[in-house]
Structure 1
Amino acid sequence: MIIGILLAILAGSLVSLQNVFNSKVNQHISSWGTTSLVLGMGFAASLLIGLLFEGKRMFNLVNMQPWYWISGIIGVGVVICLVQALKRLEPTFSISIVMTSQLGFALLWDSMGWLGLEKVPFRPNQLIGVLVIIAGIVVFKTGGSFGRENRKQKQN
């Protein structure tokens, strides 16, 4: 379990790092160019590393459902949406929303047993956890601006 937690933390840090780089690339080329570059380089890297570690076994796709192949297309949506969000919002705010959205939708899909997932019983404390995270993002984003506004009004 500890290794799983550490890997999840590493994945989160890498996603945040990737978004910073994507944002910088997007300042120089279009969003579609950024998406193509990011996914193209990811394809090349994963192909090379996969061949090194797994060889031909990497292409053993027996018994795989054909609709699983759309994952790559979903990846295009992920990158293009993140690049656009980063353009319009601060990186920390964007990533906070993305992670909360991931958690909320994972809770929905697990609870409903959709997409071939084993149905996990929904518990209200899970929803409360997501709502607490959303409240934390609101506090983070407003960051005392309510207090500053009240002080300004009192001074006038």
Structure 2
Amino acid sequence: MRGVLFAMSGGFFLTLQSVANARISSQIGTWQAATLTQFTGFVVALLVMLVLRDRTYVEMRHVKPLYLSGGAFAAIILFSNMTAVHKLGVTMTISLFLIAQLALALVIDWRGWFGMVRRKLNGAQLIGVFMMIAGVILLKW
């Protein structure tokens, strides 16, 4: 149940962040907004870590370099998201982001990339993705 709540809150905050970032970027520029957003995210994460007194940060030096690319991906995500919101609106942007996330997640699970357990892909999953695509077509129509 907690996983569902965290997933839902992540979705809500992603939408709120998309709107806020688009507003900020229209005032100061897209890369500037991405920089500001990543910096404030760093500060909040650092403060939470300090308040929780989580000392596992000393293990950061053992993280594989490949996985450090997540931060670089975040900059690209922010830029893409802000640009898409300006061009497509919030609903279409979030819809397409979700389809792209789900499609890549299915491939990662199916292929076992990044050390994930390999999972079989089934027809219901593919139908679900196609239904989401159909939903976006209906939204656009």
Structure 1 and Structure 2 fold alike (TM over 0.5): yes
The alpha-carbon deviation at position 64 of structure 1 amounts to 2.5
The alpha-carbon deviation at position 90 of structure 1 amounts to 1.1
**Structure 1 residue aligned with 2:118:** 119
The TM-score normalised by the length of structure 1 is: 0.86
Judging by fraction of residues, say which structure has more helix. Answer: 2
CA distance in 2, matches of 1:67, 1:105: 18
What's the CA shift string for 1:16-56, capped at 9, x where partnerless?
Answer: 00101001101101101000000000001101111111343
Of residues 65-74 and 49-58 in structure 1, the stretch that sits farther from structure 2 once superposed is 49-58
What's the CA shift string for 1:89-123, capped at 9, x where partnerless?
Answer: 11111100001110011001110111211111111
Higher relative CO (Cα under 8 Å, sequence separation at least 6) belongs to: 2
Aligned residue pairs, count? 141
Identity of aligned residues (%): 29
What's the CA shift string for 1:118-150, capped at 9, x where partnerless?
Answer: 1111111111100001101111111xxxxxxxx
Aligned residue identity for 1:82: N
Aligned residue identity for 2:17: Q
CA distance in 1, matches of 2:70, 2:108: 16
CA distance in 2, matches of 1:59, 1:17: 32
Secondary structure of 1:122's match? coil
Secondary structure of 2:28's match? coil
Q: Specify every segment of 5 or more residues in structure 2 that has no aligned partner in the other structure, as ranges.
A: none
Structure with bigger gyration radius: 1
The alpha-carbon deviation at position 63 of structure 1 amounts to 4.0
The TM-score normalised by the length of structure 2 is: 0.95
**Structure 2 residue aligned with 1:98:** 97
Of residues 118-127 and 52-61 in structure 1, the stretch that sits farther from structure 2 once superposed is 52-61
**Structure 2 residue aligned with 1:30:** 29
5 Å-filtered alignment, 1:38-53, equals 38-53=37-52
CA change 1:33–1:62 in 2 (3 A) is closer
CA distance in 1, matches of 2:30, 2:63: 32
